[in-house]
């Protein structure tokens, strides 16, 4: 059994991987903003994240040519977020710590 049976499914997977990566980056940026804003802002930032991420997922689904959510779509989102969280995020945090020490 082949994981991707059509090229459209592969394109949709990659588009959603990009969307998952972007959602993780946006979440980290908003987490930094939460530290500097008053107490009533975090729920608003969470709602903003949900709206922006939902829009990005809808656009990625449309660009990938998909009309329904399937397992590989969810796996694409998780893969993109995982690439950011397990790889690039650690590098960025290590660089920030080094800059903070200097």
Domain boundaries, the chain: 7-101
Cα–Cα distance between 88 and 93 in angstroms, integer?
9
Q: What is the mean pLDDT of residues 21-33?
A: 88
Q: Are 72 and 6 in contact (CB under 8 A)?
A: no
Comparing CA positions, the residue from 90, 73, 68, 71 lying closest to residue 20 is 73
Asked if pLDDT for residue 4 goes beyond 70, the answer is: no
Do 16 and 64 form a contact (C-beta atoms < 8 A)? yes
Contact 20, 85 (CB under 8 A): no
pLDDT tens, 54-80? Answer: 998 888 888 877 777 788 888 999 999
Can you give the C-alpha Rg of the chain in angstroms? 16
Q: Give the whole-angstrom CA distance, residue 99 versus residue 19.
A: 29
Report pLDDT for 88: 86
């Amino acid at each position: 059994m082949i994981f991707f049976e059509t090229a459209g499914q592969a394109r949709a997977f990659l588009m959603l991987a990009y969307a998952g990566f972007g959602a993780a980056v946006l979440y980290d940026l908003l987490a930094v903003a939460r530290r500097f804003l008053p107490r009533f802002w975090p729920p608003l930032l969470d709602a903003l994240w949900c709206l922006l991420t939902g829009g990005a997922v809808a656009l990625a689904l449309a660009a990938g040519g998909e009309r329904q959510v399937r397992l590989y779509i969810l796996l694409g989102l998780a893969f993109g977020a995982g690439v950011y969280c397990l790889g690039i995020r650690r590098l960025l945090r290590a660089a920030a710590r080094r800059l903070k020490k200097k």
